[in-house]
Amino acid sequence: MKLRLEVCLDPQTRVDRTFDQTVMTAGRSRACDLVIAQSVVSSKHVRFHVGDTGLEVTDLGSANGTFVNDEPLRGTVSIDRGDLVRLGKSGPALRILDYAAPARAPEHAPLRVTPNVDHSAAPPASITPMPDRPSVFRHTQHGGGVVADGLRPHPSPAAADSRPAPPAPASRWHADATSQQHEQGNQSSSTTRMMVRQLEGQQKRWKAFAVGGVAGLGAVLLVLLLVLLAVFQRPSSMNAQQILADWRGSVFLVITQDGDEVSRATAFLVDRQGTFATNSHVTRGVERVLANGGQAMLISEAGELVFTIDAAITHPDYRDATDADVDLSRHYPDVGLLTVKDYDEKIRPVRLASRSRAQSLSPGTDLCFVGFPVFNRGDYLADKKQVIPRTGVGKIVRVCSYKEDNEGELRLIENDMSAQRGGASGSPIFDKDGQVVAILAGGILAAGDNPGVLPFCIRIDELHELLEQH
């Protein structure tokens, strides 16, 4: 065990989780070690690291922030047992129960090596005193060449006096020969120095050429790398908070009450005649409640507007488990319509994407939903101020058909958005330009899917066809 956490999803739900790795990530993405399917949690929200110095926590650029003991987390901080890490200001919390840092390697004293030297084996070396000052290199002539004597000690004054004077030249011919030898020696030295300078200059030019070539190649590679990063790691242009601010007034909470049974979903206005779009499994429920004499209504944010649902329209091709001819190996067009009484024409309908725009959707496209996922089980009918729309982001994973063999038109979109079930069904799915390209289908779940993850939505051209029929 490296890390043990108490995961507090809400005040009533607490779960102990143990992790054996030294690095653990938490977020909405299935790639995380701890998956928390709530829209307030980012795809990769936070990272825990158990190291030699203890336990550290790092915010991974989350949208709603991370708080340690109710203080905002910036960068990386050290935490300890009992500390509370909250994902978002009011999101789920992770309490540190225990952790075990890896054992330190033993610290060794530095090795001291003593050479095995027998000091008694040899007598001490005699020290020759240095001369008063060295003489400079001098040249002597030997048959026309130049010979350097090297460093020699200066002779003492007495030795200099006793040294015989050099003999005078015997003749003018000897003096001319001596002068000629000097000239030949000087020419040889000049030629040698010139050749050395030429070689040094050539080496410098080659070195400059090599350095310049390497620098130029490095610059080209850097430019190519930046271009590749710009193409393949282009940052998302989705601004979910701006889309929420623009369209929250057009998205309503669907509430049905039949005796003690209360159901919740989401719907959004699509025209100025009071028509709202949602899922067919939602309209089926509304039809049953209305047939039994129950209540069915639409409530705007904070209960500012309340409409009584007049009628529900289910897609003619939709089937669920209550139908005798249902094929459970496939999906169905889960889109439907609701109409209301006393519609207020001041409400702005959403912008539905065109068929061609919807048909061009592809994996990797940024999406966000606006709806009413159930984060609490409050009585919305008694306290309508609790009606607050929320948003979540994700990307398209694949576009497929309703059938298992993927035959037919591709109108089913799998995505990686996370939202709590029980209220998000029927939410509009927006692209980065604020156009509705799909409808969240909370009733469609693949086998083994996390119920906190809503992986499918219906492409908006399915809704276009239903609106044309009515």
Q: What is the pLDDT of residue 454?
A: 56
| Secondary structure (3-state) at 86 | strand
Confidence of residue 450 (pLDDT cuts 50, 70, 90): very low
The sign of the CA dihedral 72, 78, 83, 85 is: positive
Q: pLDDT-derived band of residue 448, with 50, 70 and 90 as boundaries? A: very low
Over residues 108-115, mean pLDDT: 46
Residue 121 confidence class, pLDDT cut points 50, 70, 90: very low
pLDDT band at 424; cut points 50, 70, 90 = confident
Question: Domains of the chain, with CATH numbers?
Answer: 3-99 (2.60.200.20), 242-468 (2.40.10.120)
Which ranges in 233-300 belong to alpha helices (H)?
240-247, 280-291
Beta strands in 88-174 (DSSP E): 93-99, 139-142, 145-148
What does pLDDT average to over the chain? 78
pLDDT on residue 282? 93
* 418 CB burial (10 A radius; 0-12, 13-18, 19+): buried
Q: Could you tell me whether strands 3-10 and 93-99 are parallel, antiparallel, or unpaired per DSSP bridges? A: antiparallel
Least confident span in 199-213, 306-320, 409-423, 441-455? 441-455
Cβ-proximal residues to 171 (8 Å cutoff; 6+ apart), any chain: none
Report which residue type is found at 361. Answer: L
**pLDDT band for position 163 (50/70/90)?**
low
Whether 158 shows a pLDDT value over 80: the answer reads no
pLDDT of residue 104: 54
Among 278, 261, 292, 281, smallest CA distance to 322 is for 281
The identity of residue 216, as a single letter, is: G
Contact 296, 256 (CB under 8 A): yes
Buried b (16+ CB within 10 A) or exposed e, 87-125: bbeebbbbbbeebeeeeeeeeeeeeeeeeeeeeeeeeee
H or E element that contains 287: helix 280-291
207-258 per-position pLDDT tens digit: 666 666 667 777 888 887 776 665 555 455 789 999 999 999 999 999 999 8
Write the pLDDT tens digit of every residue in 7-63: 988 777 788 899 999 999 999 888 889 988 887 888 899 999 998 889 999 999 888
- Which pLDDT score, from 0 to 100, does residue 185 have? 56
Mean pLDDT score, 170-184: 50
Query: How far is 244 from 250, CA to CA, in rounded Å?
Result: 10
Q: 355 pLDDT band (50/70/90 cuts)?
A: very high
pLDDT at 65 over 80: yes
Residue 140 confidence (pLDDT): 41
First CA to last CA distance, the chain: 60
Percent of the chain with pLDDT over 90: 40
- In the predicted structure, residue 66 carries a pLDDT above the cut 90: yes
State yes or no: pLDDT of 132 exceeds 70.
Answer: no
**Average pLDDT estimate for 182-201:** 62
Q: Is the pLDDT of residue 451 over 60?
A: no
Is 139's pLDDT higher than 50?
A: no
Point out the least confidently predicted range of 5-19, 189-203, 412-426. 189-203
Q: Give the rounded percent of residues in the chain with a pLDDT score beyond 70.
A: 67
